[in-house]
């Protein structure tokens, strides 16, 4: 079981790899199908979407006769309700991997705090891998070789729940890089329209992953797409507002900037890009 968004799934890849190495190709994955399918096919025996009615019994309080050899749960369960339910359907002791340290979230989300101070600044990948030892599972970190390419991918977003570096800055950066002859792409998220030629909108995440496979530098706010870019081998230049980049930066080669701490201007970002091409 993995209950998390795109970024959470990408940050958990090393745990998927470690579990595959330990249990072999015998793991049935239940979660968001389109996220699981981004990873190597041999990680999982089968993949199921948790939104299917077939899996309603997992979240029901009604008794069920269904049993699994062992349930592995990667997610958040502060009150332990899911663990109690799923231990009932797990013949062996359930494996629970806490997805991230609670003290690592921003102030407005820190009403709960179940972790110790020593985990406050630990990156999510390391935090998850450290938990495997208690179950006798060897932690294996998935190495991500950098895919170098003389191209830049910009990914602007509008802020809703999180503040964002504004799309207008990405447009300025796009025009400046193109004027210098840099191969630059503007990848647009769903719901954002930009009146500019040459922009891209790719809906299927597998197609996005293939596009990222050509390498380059990916510039964005803290987002699930940044984590997919990092997992795909791109150098990610990530702008953080609410969250601690030491904990949440994308895997692989990453340059993290924090609003309110680092100098953020189009000229500054452009210099970092040109220095790393």
Q: What is the CATH number of the domain that holds 191?
A: 3.40.50.2000
Residue with token string 């899911």: 82
Residue with token string 């984590």: 227
Q: Do 190 and 92 sit in the same domain of this protein?
A: no
Q: Do 214 and 106 sit in the same domain of this protein?
A: no
Does residue 143 lie within any of the structural domains?
A: no
Q: Do 103 and 59 sit in the same domain of this protein?
A: yes
Does residue 1 lie within any of the structural domains?
A: no
Does residue 146 lie within any of the structural domains?
A: no
Overall pTM > 0.85: yes
What is the spatial distance between Cα 91 and Cα 86, in angstroms, rounded to a whole number? 10
Helices and strands, number each (H, E), in the chain: 10, 10
Q: Do 157 and 260 sit in the same domain of this protein?
A: yes
Q: Do 157 and 128 sit in the same domain of this protein?
A: no
Q: Do 95 and 193 sit in the same domain of this protein?
A: no
- Full pLDDT tens readout for the chain, 277 residues: 999 999 999 999 999 999 999 999 999 999 999 999 999 999 999 999 999 999 999 999 999 999 999 999 999 999 999 999 999 999 999 999 999 998 756 443 333 334 445 567 899 999 999 999 999 999 999 999 999 999 999 999 875 556 788 989 999 999 999 999 999 999 998 777 777 777 888 889 999 999 999 999 999 999 999 999 999 999 999 999 989 999 999 999 999 999 888 889 999 999 999 999 9
- Number of domains present in the structure of the chain: 2
Provide the phi-psi class of 269: left if phi over 0, else alpha when psi is between -120 and 50, else beta: alpha
The domain of 194 spans 151-276
User: Of 199, 185, 183, nearest to 150 (Cα)?
Assistant: 183
Q: How many CB atoms lie within 10 A of CB 183?
A: 13
Residues 6+ apart with CB under 8 A from 85: 58, 59, 61
Q: Do 37 and 64 sit in the same domain of this protein?
A: yes
């Amino acid at each position: 079981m993995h209950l998390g968004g795109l970024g959470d799934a990408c940050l958990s890849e090393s745990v998927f790899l470690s579990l595959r190495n330990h249990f072999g190709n015998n793991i049935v994955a239940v979660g968001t199908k389109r996220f699981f399918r981004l990873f190597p096919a041999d990680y999982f025996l089968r993949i199921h979407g948790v939104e299917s009615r077939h899996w309603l019994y997992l979240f029901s309080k009604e008794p069920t006769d269904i049993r699994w050899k062992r349930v592995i749960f990667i997610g958040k369960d502060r009150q332990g309700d899911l663990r109690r339910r799923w231990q009932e359907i797990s013949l062996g002791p359930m494996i629970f991997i806490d997805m991230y340290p609670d003290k690592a979230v921003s102030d407005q989300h820190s009403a709960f705090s179940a972790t110790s101070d020593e985990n406050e600044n630990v990156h999510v990948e390391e935090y998850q891998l450290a938990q495997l030892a208690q179950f006798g599972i060897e932690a294996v970190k998935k190495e991500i070789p950098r895919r170098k390419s003389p191209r830049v991918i910009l990914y602007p977003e509008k802020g809703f729940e999180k503040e964002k570096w504004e799309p207008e800055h990405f447009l300025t950066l796009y025009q400046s890089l193109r004027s210098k002859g840099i191969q630059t792409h503007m990848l647009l998220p769903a719901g954002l329209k930009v009146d500019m030629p040459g922009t891209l909108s790719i809906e299927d995440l597998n197609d996005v992953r293939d596009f990222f496979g050509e390498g380059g530098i990916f510039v964005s706010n803290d987002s699930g797409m940044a984590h997919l870019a990092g997992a795909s081998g791109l150098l990610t230049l990530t702008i953080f507002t609410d969250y601690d980049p030491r904990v949440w930066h994308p895997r692989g080669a990453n340059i993290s900037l924090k609003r309110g701490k680092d100098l953020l201007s189009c000229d500054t970002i452009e210099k970092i890009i040109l220095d790393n091409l």
